[in-house]
Structure formats: structure tokens, C-alpha cells
Amino acid sequence: MLNFIELFAGSGGLGMGIAKAGFSQVIAIEKDKNCCNTLEFNRNQGLFYLAGWDIINSDVRDVVLSQYQGKVSLVSGGPPCQPFSLGGRHLASEDQRDLFPEAIRAVREIRPQAFIFENVRGLTRKSFAEYFEYIKLQLTYPLTVRLPNESSRKHFERLEEQFTSGDCDQLKYNITAKVLNAADFGLPQKRERLFIVGFNNKLPVRWHFPKPTHSFDSLIWSQRYGDYWDRNEVPKKYRLVSKKAESRLYRLSEKPNNAAWKTIRESIMSLPDPLASEGYESLNVLNHEYRPGARIYPGHCGSFIDEPAKTLKAGVHGVPGGENMIKFPDGSVRYFTLRESARLQSYPDEYFFDCSWSKAMYQLGNAVPIKLSYIIAKSVKSALSEALSHNKPKKRGTTKPASNSALQDATVHS
């Protein structure tokens, strides 16, 4: 059995995808009480992906993580992204909300066989390039800790020397990082997130990120030459595409081989119109209430219904949820309902947010789409399971390889 521990669990998007991939939950740590209430409510309602979750409402900095050493195969989590967000103050390690050091501490103290961390694409920006390299080196050599009175610059340089020397006499992880667009994997949202995946260096793992399965080119081909409009029963006067789609279409000489991006319309068309209150009440659709007040203004123009949505926001940029709107072919806009937003994040329809719209949008806007985390976790589990099966003691007459736990009995390298 492969267990995992989830740090910065939020409303559970990353963790539920990992659970769906076949990992068993040990514990979920989350500081925000509203998020914990949401997780606990849905767990207690019997939501399958949350079965057995031990949810701890605590700042991860106050948790003794070494108690999980030897009990956890995978560490996962999304450290708060505000220090690196395009809408933030861009303070990186100088921002008190930067909790990547805690993610690194988790790897150091738990010593898992693998880890999956995610964050905003902004961490890959040029202005954060050096800090991002520093993070990756610390995750590669988690036992090479920063010494008392040692500056972060000196620590970074020492890690660089360790890497270039090829020194691996201690716990080491082979890591890779990549920005993935959720739309490229069949989700109705153009959400780009950075994923950092690492495996214990002593395991015979060969792994790469899953390849995209969907594309914008396939969508616009389907809208021009395929059955998109007829299949979705769109009246001819509303069969519109963006200027970007039009210009791109003329560069396509043949039908793309991959599947089409999934659009907002395809994701929500089975839901009743939230303006017709009797409709959704009779169908028992959770969290599908209409919210008035949506309007277009500079920088907030909504997401066109016949494309994937723009990245859902957590309600911290200007007017809360100002960008979380659908734009219809007639030019009108309205806010996404919570249920529609949850579908954009691939949350199951039975997942309920027992809180205000703003608090629920904060949870959804910070989440990892369940389907995307599932795709990544499934490939990690496959590689990890195969590597661990190769690492099992062989039958008599053969030499027993060193166990993973023995490999982890390293001391801090300084």
C-alpha cells in the first residue's frame, strides 16, 4: 500500500486526485479553518476520494513531520502561491507567506520515496529564476541544511558545489519540473500550474510528465469543420469564434490528431439555468445559485463560453471573483455559479461548499483541478510501483538490495 501526506491541503483538489490514482491518505494538513470545514463536511458525507482522511487544522510549521517517516510513500502539497503570483508583490523568499521551506522540511523529515509539489506558473518567471533553482537544489539534497549564521546565498553556493561534484552519499532526489496547462489534458479551463516531481535517487525510476492529449487547434478545427456546434445544439447566429481562433485556423493545413480542448459550454450544458431557481431546486443541484452584479470593465471581460475558461481566481485580485464570469455570444456576462466553477476544476457534483460564495470561490480559485492531479499522480504511482517491485529482495541465492528505509538513514551533510 502506498500512503501519502498532503500539506497545504486547501479544499482537496490535489489530494483527491492523488487518492483517485490509488494512493491511500494518511493525513491532510491545512491552516485555513474554512477549508478544513469543507473537507470534513464532504468526508463525513461519504465522498469516496476523502475516505479515511485525517484532517488536521494546523499551520504546517507547528507539525512534527518526522513522526511520519517510514509511514508515507509520497509527500504532496501546494505551498501558498502569493509570493510568486502575477498579481502578488513578488517578494519570493522575502515574503513571510513563502512556505516552500516547509515543503523541503517535509521531504527532509519524512524521507518519502517520491513527492509532488505544485505552484503558480509565476515561479518560473525570470525574476524568480535564481530562487527557483535554490528550491530545486534544496529538494534534491534535503539533508544539506542551511547552517546557523549562514546566508541563503552561501547555502545556495554550497548546494551548487554539491551538485556539480556529483556527491550523492546522502539522501538525494532526482527531480523534474514543468508547467502544465489543464486545458491540454481535457479540462475546461486554461489553468497553468507548475509541478515539481521528485523520486528517491536509490530507486530505479524512469519517469516523464504525461503528454498533452488535447489542443486548441483541434477545438477550432471542430468548430469550423467538425460537429462542435451541432453536437452542442448552438443556434447558427451564436456560432462565433474568437479572433485568435480565426487567425490560427488559417495556419492549419490538416486536422490535428489529438482531442479538442473542452469548452465551458460542454462542461456546464447539463446544468439548468441558474436564473430559473425552480429548475435547479427540483434537480437538487448543489451550490448552483445565481449571483448578480457581473459586469465587464477593463481587465475583467470574462471567459467566452465556447472556449475553456480563463484561470479561476481566488477573489484576491481587485473585485472578488471579478474575472470569474461567463461571456455569452450576445455579449452578456454573468458570474459562474459555485457548481459551474467546481466543474471547471473537475470537482464531483456531490462536493458541497457549506460556506459563503466568496469563501467557496477562494477555495476553488486556489485549487488544483482533480483530473490534472490524478493524471500526474497515476503516472507517478505506476513508476513508483514498478521501481519498488524491482527493489524487493530476490529469492534465495541472490543478493538482497539495500532497503529504502536503510538508504534514508543519512545524517545532515554540511
Q: Give the SS3 label for residue 62.
A: helix
- CB burial string 371-400: b at 16+ within 10 A, e below: bbbbbbbbbbbebbeebbeebeeeeeeeee
Q: Classify the C-alpha dihedral 65-66-71-76 as positive or negative.
A: positive
C-alpha cell belonging to residue 203: 530507486
CB atoms within 10 A of CB 111: 24
CB atoms within 10 A of CB 343: 22
CA angle centred on 339, ends 78 and 371, rounded to 5°? 45
Query: Which of the residues 81, 168, 301, 355 is marked catalytic?
Result: 81
Distance CA 258, CA 352 (A): 34
* CB proximity list for 233: less than 8 A, separation 6 or greater: none
Written in H, E and C, the secondary structure of 130-150 is HHHHHHHHHHHCCCCCCCCCC
Q: Is 36 a catalytic residue?
A: no
Distance CA 362, CA 342 (A): 12
Q: Give the SS3 label for residue 25.
A: strand
The residues assigned a catalytic role are 81
